[in-house]
Structure 1
Amino acid sequence: MTAGHTLGVEEEFLLLDPGSGHTVGLAPKVLAQSPVGLPEGVALHAELRDTQVEAATGICAGEQDLRAHLLAARTWLAERARSADAFLVASGTPPFSAPSIVDDRSERFARIDSVYAGMVADYEACGCHIHVGVTDPELAVAVVNRLRPWLPTLLALSVNSPLHDGRDTGFGSWRMVQQSRFPGSGVPPWFADRAGYDAEVARLVDCGVLVDERMSFWLARPSPTLPTIEFRVADTATTIDEAVLFALLTRALVRTTVLDVERGAPAARPGEQIAAAAVWSAARYGLDGDGVDMWRARRIPAAGLLRDLVDRLRPALEEAGDLPSVLRLLSLVRARGTGAQRQRRAARDGTHAVIRMLARETHTTPRPGVGEPATGYSADDDGGDR
């Protein structure tokens, strides 16, 4: 199968008490009933904390399949959550949190709690993980090497966790701040080949800082369990539209980068500190302020970096037939704001208004309304000029 054609998405959700807005440990109850009527390949799982649940799509060939899988899983989980007197919400961190008491843990989750101790005691971070099919292990490493400079831009677009413990953190993605505390996080290092990648992960496990080979937090990596490249950069997307947008952009990035590898195009190798600065800036400002151009190690508007990314991916998006959808969905983000911007707007009416907004958007698909453009995307800034 040609690299970069298939898609899969894993979405992590929070369970919130409708009255208090605090997270509630109802995942065992929500997942107790075996799901029926879901598209083939869709799976529902427990997560690290019992205040969270996860939905994974099957293998999807395009936007229509992906939307059907996402909608079916979200609808099923939202209905079961309501039956358990909870809201299902998609937010990178909970606006409110409460101690998570876990009586029955999988062996792996118990080991994670033991190794990371207080770092995970209140860790309820939720991401939107995108898998793009790449069956050749060597090609997967080469592609990840070359797409690294674009990972902060994908984060800036996806920021959806500005609130934590009832306060505005000042960051668009507080989830990324929490995630950065773990070993094996941030932009991945450059690896010469798959053997080098596997050896480095094994060393981290041997050093005792990773529970196992599946535990790395790098923002993109060859999947340890599937023939895919796995992107772990995005906050979980409140709306299906946003999840689809991230997935289509990510697939186009892989397809574009595969062509770069095949023709031997030069690859940027930014320093670790520049990469860390770019991730920090994306988590802090989202699309609201400056990002870091990792090619030139300088600040430019984050919206300009996003414009550059779309321009770079345009041929791959056109080839896949995804360009009209991506332009429309980007226009919606520009009109409505990122998840973080929308959470902050709702918070003007109190944190509980945020909870209601998140619950509503998580299992409905907004369409262009009055004043919201339906097509086209432009960034009215003086962004990148590569």
Structure 2
Amino acid sequence: MDTMTRTSGTGGATRTARTVGVEEELLLVDPESGRPLSVAGKVLRRTDAPAQRRRVGVPEAGDDSPGGDVGAEMQQQQVETDTPPRRDLEELQDDVEQWRALTVRSAREVGARALAAGTSPLPVRPQPQHDERYQEMTDRYGLTAAEHLLSGCHVHVSVADDEEGVGVLDRVRPWLHALLALSANSPFWQGQDSGYASFRSQAIVRWPSAGPYPAFGSAAAYRRTVEAMVGTEVLLDPDMVYFDARLSQSYPTVEVRVADVCLDARDTVLVAGLGRALVETAAREWAEGRPASEVSTTLLRLASWRAGHDGAGGALLDPGSWEPRPARAVLEALVDHVRPALEDAGDLTRVERGVDRVLTTGNGAGRQRAALERTGRLTDVVAELARVTAGYTD
């Protein structure tokens, strides 16, 4: 596990901070109509240009270190960025902003705009990439695949091994819906207000393996579950295990997948900081032999539904009682739950200010609806999304 030593924020013993990186899926849209454009291939060719990469201070193509790239996704109207693993959240924010800047610039050069939005505000007919696996997914899963144009934020946090990783997965379950509420950024679907802060969280669970998951107890049990899932032939392969959090197939990390892509890059880093603190807290509980919560997957589904519906502006289910409480109270309880890990990583002040910012000024869903209320035009919502994605947050 890649770690660093830091002095505790309370002046206590030193701890090690786990590395964290993020993947962000970004939409590509027409600057006039606001509708998604099938230009991912053209954008990717420009992001691979060495001169483009040097302009924003990122590695040139061919760098074989983990993370730090822009790649294709299932649909031609979308790309995905990913950062290298970082120990410091300030460095991570620089990475997120740089990769967004590169994607924004490359999109503009082909007559498009890049958006950090969980769903397209305007109606869209997704166009899959010319890829054998994606074509098989489209053939097998019908409308679920044909209508899939969803943008998430995936947080990768380093773990020592699969045993620790599964110990973490079992213990972060009660809190993942709070990350969804913070990140909610997909209120519109096919040109209509969905009634949800995160409609992406509704659309994603049409996939057979997506959403909350049970406790596993051991790495062997986790592997048996994945093998059994693939063995049903409902899933094509292990990459289609779309749990809200899972062991990464590619890196020695826990991958927290529950969040929408955030509109504001600062919120991306907030979700990453809380995700890392959740992993660290859970790993300590596992090492100490503290049992995982016995909450049922059924209750977790209800918690996820409430978080996707209300976002950070309504009520969330409290992991202590599983009854509704104001979102602020539950998010503050989350910070309290991971406070020692935040202090040891030096992240407490940043995270507290970030949570307060989201609760005060709103997340992406709130900002999208506010833009629509001002003018009544979804094209203006798209313009606001493009503006903030490009780094204009005021």
Q: When the two structures are superposed, what TM-score results if normalisation uses the length of structure 2? A: 0.89
1:60-102 CA-to-partner distances (Å, cap 9, x unmatched) read: 1111221221111111110111111111000000001322334
The 8 Å contact of residues 199 and 308 in structure 2, kept in 1 or not, is answered as yes
1:184-226 CA-to-partner distances (Å, cap 9, x unmatched) read: 1211111021111111112111212212101111101111211
The 8 Å contact of residues 268 and 295 in structure 1, kept in 2 or not, is answered as no
| Structure-1 separation of matches of 2:392 and 2:273 | 17
Q: Residue type of the partner of 2:68? A: V
Question: Structure 1 residue 10: deviation in Å?
Answer: 0.2
- Match of residue 74 from structure 2: 48
The 8 Å contact of residues 240 and 363 in structure 1, kept in 2 or not, is answered as no
Q: Residue type of the partner of 1:59? A: P
Q: Residue type of the partner of 1:201? A: V
| Structure-2 separation of matches of 1:132 and 1:162 | 28
- Match of residue 355 from structure 1: 382
Question: Structure 1 residue 114: deviation in Å?
Answer: 2.0
1:259-302 CA-to-partner distances (Å, cap 9, x unmatched) read: 11111223211112211111111111112222222443322222
Q: Confirm whether residue 149 of structure 1 aligns to residue 180 of structure 2.
A: no
Q: Confirm whether residue 14 of structure 1 aligns to residue 33 of structure 2.
A: no
Q: Residue type of the partner of 1:125? A: L
| Structure-2 separation of matches of 1:67 and 1:292 | 30
The 8 Å contact of residues 97 and 265 in structure 2, kept in 1 or not, is answered as yes
- Match of residue 109 from structure 2: 83
- Match of residue 234 from structure 2: 209
Please tell me the root mean square deviation across aligned C-alpha atoms, in Å.
1.5
Q: Confirm whether residue 177 of structure 1 aligns to residue 202 of structure 2.
A: yes
| Structure-2 separation of matches of 1:345 and 1:183 | 34
- Match of residue 381 from structure 1: none
2:238 partner SS? coil
The runs of 5 or more residues in structure 1 that have no matched partner are: 368-386
The 8 Å contact of residues 4 and 133 in structure 1, kept in 2 or not, is answered as no
The 8 Å contact of residues 57 and 69 in structure 1, kept in 2 or not, is answered as yes
Q: Confirm whether residue 131 of structure 1 aligns to residue 168 of structure 2.
A: no
- Match of residue 118 from structure 1: 143
- Match of residue 384 from structure 1: none
Residues 243-252 or 67-76, more deviating: 67-76
What percent of counterpart residues are identical?
37
User: Residue 342 and residue 39 in structure 1: after superposition, are their counterparts in 2 closer, same or farther (change >3 A)?
Assistant: same
| Structure-2 separation of matches of 1:151 and 1:215 | 19
The 8 Å contact of residues 39 and 77 in structure 2, kept in 1 or not, is answered as yes
| Structure-2 separation of matches of 1:283 and 1:167 | 16
* Aligned 1:1-386 pairs, distance under 5 A: 1=1, 2=3, 5-33=18-46, 34-35=48-49, 36-37=53-54, 38-40=57-59, 41-102=67-128, 105-348=130-373, 349=375, 350-364=377-391, 366=393
| Structure-1 separation of matches of 2:359 and 2:317 | 20
The runs of 5 or more residues in structure 2 that have no matched partner are: 4-15, 60-66
| Number of aligned residue pairs | 366
Question: Structure 1 residue 365: deviation in Å?
Answer: 5.6
Q: When the two structures are superposed, what TM-score results if normalisation uses the length of structure 1? A: 0.91
The 8 Å contact of residues 24 and 98 in structure 1, kept in 2 or not, is answered as no
